[in-house]
């Protein structure tokens, strides 16, 4: 992993921890609840990815700086709570940053471990969305990935773009940035224009 990727992964972890801590609800509104939510949101996806790939030690167990990045995120959420929540789109912003970074870093890691590109795309998406899914399941919310607006699909699209650019030999760091930006913009446009996939039940 290059220093650039390492910095992106720490940043993504930090963003996810903020979004997790901001997601607390009335019934678990205390310091522990918010820290736990930030922690689970930040590590959930990458942990599931690494366990599925059998890649040990897990990122945050092997490198204590990820644990520090999480607690930094929770502290930022704590001290700036009234400002961050006041900005209506803050949660969306940090969550979208998180999924954009984690999708592409997840694809990268899966490829490095030698899996099929199809599986790498799925692993990238899992890295991005599963932290939030676990967070929502723990608090009995309907997981964000099942809401109508395009969410995980944006991650998949970015993962596929990355794989195509990778195949045709684009420089790795450029590819990283382009694919991350695609997911970020796709997701924000999806929310703004309420883009949704066609229904499944109508059938073929």
Instruction: Check residue 167 for interaction with its own copies (CB under 8 A).
Output: no
Instruction: Check residue 60 for interaction with its own copies (CB under 8 A).
Output: yes
Instruction: Check residue 99 for interaction with its own copies (CB under 8 A).
Output: no
CA distances from 65 to 36, 46, 71, 156, 170 (A): 17, 15, 10, 28, 30
HSE-up of 113 (CA within 13 Å, CB side)? 19
Candidates 10-18, 94-102, 142-150, 186-194; binding stretch for its own copies (CB under 8 A)? 142-150
Note if the bond before 57 is cis, omega within 30 degrees: yes
The answer to whether the CB of 25 falls within 8 A of the CB of 82 is no
Instruction: Check residue 188 for interaction with its own copies (CB under 8 A).
Output: no
The answer to whether the CB of 105 falls within 8 A of the CB of 9 is yes
Instruction: Check residue 52 for interaction with its own copies (CB under 8 A).
Output: yes
The answer to whether the CB of 128 falls within 8 A of the CB of 85 is no
Residues that bind its own copies (rule: CB under 8 A) add up to a total of: 58
Instruction: Check residue 186 for interaction with its own copies (CB under 8 A).
Output: no
Which residues of this protein are in contact with its own copies, per CB under 8 A? 21, 24, 27-34, 36, 39, 47, 51-54, 56-58, 60-61, 64, 67, 78-82, 115-116, 118-119, 122, 133, 137-140, 142-143, 145-148, 150, 152-153, 156, 196-204
């Amino acid at each position: 992993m290059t220093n650039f990727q390492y910095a992106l992964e720490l940043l993504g972890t930090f963003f996810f921890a903020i979004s997790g801590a901001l997601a607390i609800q009335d019934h678990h509104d205390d310091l522990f609840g918010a820290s736990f939510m930030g922690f689970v949101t930040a590590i959930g996806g990458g942990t599931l990815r690494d366990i599925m790939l059998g890649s040990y030690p897990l990122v945050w167990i092997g490198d204590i700086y990820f644990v520090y990045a999480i607690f930094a995120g929770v502290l930022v959420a704590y001290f700036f709570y009234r400002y961050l929540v006041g900005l209506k789109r803050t949660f969306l912003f940090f969550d979208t940053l998180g999924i954009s970074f984690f999708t592409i870093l997840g694809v990268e890691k899966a490829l490095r471990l030698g899996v099929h590109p199809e599986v790498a795309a799925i692993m990238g998406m899992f890295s991005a969305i599963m932290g939030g899914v676990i967070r929502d399941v723990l608090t009995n919310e309907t997981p964000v990935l099942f809401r109508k607006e395009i969410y995980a699909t944006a991650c998949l699209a970015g993962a596929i773009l990355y794989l195509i650019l990778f195949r045709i030999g684009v420089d790795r760091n450029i590819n990283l940035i382009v694919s991350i930006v695609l997911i970020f913009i796709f997701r924000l446009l999806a929310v703004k224009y309420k883009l949704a996939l066609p229904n499944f039940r109508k059938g073929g």
